Amino acid sequence: MKSTSLLKSILFIFLPLLTNAQAYKLWYKKPAEKWTDALPIGNGRLGAMVFGGLEKDRIQFNEETLWTGEPRNYNRPNASQHLAEIRRLLQEGKQKEAELLAQEKFMGTKSNEGQREDWLKQLKLLKEFSGNPADDKFDDTAWKTIKVPTYEGWETVGLEGLDGALWFRTTFDLPANWQGKNLILDLNRVRDHDFTYINGKLIGTTNSTDIRKYEIPAEVLKVGKNSIAIQVINYFDKGGIAGYKDTTRHIGIYPANESGVQRISLVKDWKYFIQNDEPPAIGKYQADYQPFGDLFIDFKGTENYINYKRELSLSEAIVKTSYTSKGIDFTREYFASEPNQAIVVHLSASQLKSISFEASLTSPHKYFEVHNIDNHTLSLSVKVRNGVLKGECNLLVIAKNGKVSVNDNKISVEQSDDVTLYLVVATNFIDYENTSANPREICKKRLQSIQQLTATNPKAFLSIKQNHLKEYQRYYNTFSIDFGKDKMDKLPTDERIQQFQHHSDPSFAALYVQYGRYLLISSSRLGTNPANLQGIWNDLLTPPWGSKYTTNINAEMNYWPAEVLNLAPMHESLFKMIDEIAKKGAETAKTYYNARGWLVHHNTDIWRGTAPINASNHGIWVSGGGWLSQHLWEHYLFTQDKSFLKNRAYPIMKGAAAFFVDFLVKDPKTGWLISTPSNSPENGGLVAGPTMDHQIIRNLFKNCIEASEVLKIDKAFRDTLLTKYRQIAPNQIGKYGQLQEWLEDKDDTTSKHRHVSHLWGIHPGNDITWETSPDMMKAARQSLIYRGDEGTGWSLAWKINFWARFKDGDHTMKMIKMLIRPASGAGGSYVNLFDAHPPFQIDGNFGGAAGIAEMLIQSHTKYIDLLPALPIDLKEGTVKGIKARGGFELDFTWKEGKLVSLKILSKAGEKCALRYGDKVLDFKTTKGKIYTFNGALQ
């Protein structure tokens, strides 16, 4: 009877979360104007951005495995032959020489280059033209026009995905008082290679990003109109005449030997012609994540609309657009179903026969085809350029009454009562070594299962929607958070972002936490790849930083909320990638360092490349494996799952530790073991002994030692780690009272660099805490003060977590307000609350959500600290389902900044050590039992 009562108590306390998590919403009074206004949906594998347009709605969609590239060996053969020399140069203080050697002999390999010279020869033949487009009298009347300049590339003015050779033409009138003078043609920058002609005469050519200021000889010019023709050759990303980033400065023409203040502006529409859009492939260190396509829905009868609203329900993972036109209420619902593996769009109206539209599919990829399957279904096929991956998607339209037809690769619906669109997508990717899947067959099977359901069930959409809700809410409803109501609740989300930095809006901070959880669920499900730099949302063929996995913080930050915010199942997708990286990283460890175990440098991709990439001054960073291993250990700490530790986590952790056992070398000056070569991520170049490395390695060794003791295995290896652990270079306090970033005391206190890598030991590590090393904590705080509050989006998010660990709640809240301010060059949030690096990077969303949790609970020391960094702004609140290390799940409430009540569910039966202010309570627990306390921990 007693155990039955306990079970009822557990169900009573925790099951309401399954139905009563708050109905937080993002909402707006107008459609999305640009991609970062649109609202994201996702099921881990499929992602889409919903614009909610009235006459033309756009649903831009992705499939997580569509990338450039192919399976290949990323490692440079025999790289380890140069390791000793690089170390010697660094030890002698010859950093530049070490970097030059490393760049030439130590970086990873690139993908195959195309035959550039042959292609350029073909361009010079001008076979595409009748005449020479450089000539003064060339007829360009049939050419299209384009805005010039385009600082961020011609992709931003409608030529997305275009690389190759383009001709640009325009004219200018020569002023009478400039006759007989040499002139300067100032184009600033051109991407990448130009041949520039005036009146058919070549006046300059440059093959770099150098500034173009070409002198035009007076004899080339003539009275009246003069022609300018520029052949621009762009091999990859951001093509065109870039001009000045400062738009108040114009590209233009002015007399030589003059200041250029008085000039003829060339900022205007130019004529252009695409000569060739098949440039040879360029070698790349790693692959890029790709968009898949767009679904456009063109509606009829949206004139004179009123009551427009666009919203995303976080508790339902459903986007909804609603409006009224001609007295009829229209509603559109969009969601990404995991059970049915489809993006679903449902259209309804308050009056029968009111829904009419035309649906079409397209893609930014050059190689795409749209064709009809039947009178209800379209197909879109895509193939990635310079890669092995291809994809297929099918669009099925199910309409209640009305007329459905397919013409010109579009689906038309006339006067229907109710319509549902189902979009299924697949690629030929199976895993990082196998691309033999048949996407057409996969789509066919997924569509058939939906068709069978709709054929036999008149309420099929409702059934699919309910299955979606049930699957999604099993994750979302494990946690709830409430910071109280506020008058700002009634404002649309874009207006709340504008106000948040200057007004108290605690419920918006709570919404931000749940939005972070929503994004994590939507971009990570069991069996999928982990969230990349942009989750699974991307509309660009050349996304920023390839939208890869940057392992020197960004990939890890994506999963900081997973355990504490009760989303442990989402962590699995990261663990799957770690398993794969460990296999590839073992080859890299052997090839580059002649070491056992495994590592990953500062980036990886879908093909699990682990070699150093890009430039030697930041690409040779060895601690990615150590940091990723921290996530395996954290999952064990939060769950106390010894089976996971034994079979999954410890073997990977041991491999990462074995690499460092072989890699660490004794510093001849100090006698300490140090990490060399490496760097303090993206700051200070290639060095020996960066502080961050040593913190990560210490944490890894310590975790492996503890894991081996828990599992009662590997005593000899444990003893080796313990010996090495004691010899690793320690954290040091420098001459400015700062925590040193490097082995030498050379920190620049004026540096505002976005990375604050040497504070890793504060967070996410626990190498430095108030309990074990208060002086180091003070030094770390001084370092953060020197670095300043400003930073890019993810940098702001990391600083939120630092200030929470420093237990300074009000400063933490200041950083949260900086993170959730309108996006600018200094970070912030876009209209849809996506984090702005800028551009968009999703890590700031996840890091910010985790940072708010760190204000409420910390468990990285021997205590579970309650409300350790509570700011004045969050005077009251309730959180349910928050997790702590040791296998504990907590509900607690506070008012007027004071703890009121606490309930703890022990999920593993471990000893619990609570701390609230100066109150400490240690007690043993029983697995499955709930413990209740008041604000005094009684």
Mean of pLDDT values over 94-116: 95
Instruction: Give the model's confidence band at 7: pLDDT under 50 very low, under 70 low, under 90 confident, else very high.
Output: very low
When the candidates are 1.10.10.10, 1.10.3720.10, 2.70.98.50, 3.40.50.620, the CATH number that belongs to 31-69+291-470 is 2.70.98.50
pLDDT of 664 higher than 70: yes
Contacts of 323 (CB under 8 A, 6+ apart): 54, 302, 305, 306, 307, 308, 309, 329, 330
16 has a pLDDT exceeding 60: no
Q: If we measure between CA atoms, which residue out of 877, 888, 885 comes closest to residue 852?
A: 877
Give residues with Cβ within 8 angstroms of 8, minimum separation 6. none
Residue 668 is encoded by which pair of tokens?
Answer: 């001849």
pLDDT digits (tens, 9 = 90+) for 678-702: 999 999 999 999 999 999 999 999 9
| Cα distances (Å, whole numbers) of residue 85 to 75, 98, 105, 349, 681 | 19, 8, 11, 73, 22
How confident is the model over 439-467, as pLDDT tens digits? Answer: 999 999 999 999 999 888 889 999 999 99
Ordered DSSP codes for 727-746 = HBPPP-B-TTSPBPSSSSS-
**pTM (predicted TM-score):** 0.93
Nearest to 656 by CA among 616, 617, 702, 709: 702
> 116-276, which class in CATH?
mainly beta
Rg value, the chain, Cα: 30
827 and 837 Cβ atoms separated by less than 8 Å: yes
Tens digits of residue pLDDT in 513-549: 999 999 999 999 999 999 999 999 999 999 999 999 9
Q: Is the pLDDT of residue 5 over 80?
A: no
Average pLDDT over residues 720-741: 98
| Distance between CA atoms of residues 330 and 922, nearest Å | 58
> What Å distances lie between residue 265 and 77, 223, 315, 464, 654, CA to CA?
53, 18, 53, 58, 64
Q: Is the model more confident about 917 or about 304?
A: 917
Cα gap 662→586, rounded to integer Å: 13
- Give the pLDDT score at 794: 94
Tokens standing for 586? 């073992």
Break the chain into its structural domains and give their ranges. 31-69+291-470, 75-108+540-771, 116-276
Q: Is the torsion defined by CA of 894, 900, 901, 902 positive or negative? A: positive
At residue 618 the predicted structure's pLDDT band, cuts being 50, 70 and 90, is very high
> Two tokens at 301?
């009868």
Type of residue found at 446: R
CB neighbour class for 208 (10 Å; exposed up to 12, middle 13-18, buried from 19) = exposed
Return the bridge partners of 407, or none. 410
Q: What is the mean pLDDT of residues 45-62?
A: 98
Q: Where are the beta strands (DSSP E) in 117-161?
A: 144-148
Domains 75-108+540-771 and 116-276 share a fold: no
Contact criterion met (CB below 8 Å) for 432 and 418: no
Burial classification of residue 934, based on how many CB atoms lie within 10 Å of its CB (0-12 exposed, 13-18 middle, 19 or more buried): exposed
- Exposure of 389 by Cβ count < 10 A (0-12 exposed, 13-18 middle, 19+ buried)? buried
In the chain, the amino acid numbered 845 is N
> When comparing pLDDT for 408 and 197, which is higher?
197
Query: Tokens for 460?
Result: 């099929």
Is the separation of the CB atoms in 601 and 661 below 8 Å?
no
Residue 824 is predicted with a pLDDT of 86
Residues with Cβ within 8 Å of residue 31, at least 6 apart in sequence: 37, 51, 52, 53, 54, 308, 310, 321
Tokens of 330: 């229209």
For the chain, the average pLDDT equals: 95
Alpha-carbon torsion 146, 150, 153, 155, what sign? negative
Between strands 912-916 and 864-866, the pairing is: parallel
- pLDDT for 489 equals 84
Looking at domain 75-108+540-771, its CATH architecture is: Alpha/alpha barrel (1.50)
Q: What is the pLDDT of residue 22?
A: 65
Tokens linked to 563: 């355990």
Q: Two tokens at 150?
A: 């385009």
pLDDT single digits (tens) 361-401: 999 999 999 999 999 999 999 999 989 999 999 999 999 99
Cα three-residue angle 760-786-631, rounded to 5 degrees:
10
Which token pair is 155?
């992709």
Residue 273 to residues 141, 167, 659, 771, Cα–Cα distance (Å): 11, 5, 54, 67
| Angstrom distance (rounded) from CA 527 to CA 422 | 22
Closest alpha carbon to 757 in 593, 863, 623, 581: 623
- Where b means 16+ CB within 10 Å and e means fewer, 670-685 reads eebbbbbbbbbbbbbb
pLDDT tens-place string over residues 486-520: 788 889 999 999 999 888 899 999 999 999 999 99
Percentage of the chain exceeding pLDDT 70: 98
Whether 578 contacts 652, CB under 8 Å: yes
The predicted pLDDT at position 6 comes to: 30
DSSP assignment of 12-58: HHHTTHHHHS---EEEESS--SSGGGSEEEE-SSEEEEE---SSEEE
CA 926 – CA 938 distance, rounded (Å): 18
CA distance 135 to 132: 6
SS3 662: helix
* Confidence at 872, pLDDT banded by 50, 70, 90: very high
Tokens of 354: 């009111």
Token digits for 426? 């697949």
Other beta carbons within 10 Å of 8: 10
Residue given tokens 């709830």 in the structure block:
480
Secondary structure letter of residue 219 according to DSSP: G
pLDDT digits (tens, 9 = 90+) for 815-856: 999 999 999 888 899 999 999 999 999 999 999 999 999 999
For 139, other C-beta atoms within 10 Å of its C-beta total 11
Question: 799: Cβ–Cβ under 8 A, 6 or more apart, which residues?
Answer: 756, 784, 789, 791, 815
The answer to whether 372 and 360 have CB atoms below 8 angstroms apart is no
pLDDT value, residue 303: 82
Q: What is the DSSP string of 263-321?
A: -EE--EEEEEEEEE--PPPPP-SS--B---EEEEEEES--TT-EEEEEEEETTTTEEEE
CA distance 680 to 110: 24
Q: Give CA–CA dist 879/525, Å, rounded.
A: 24
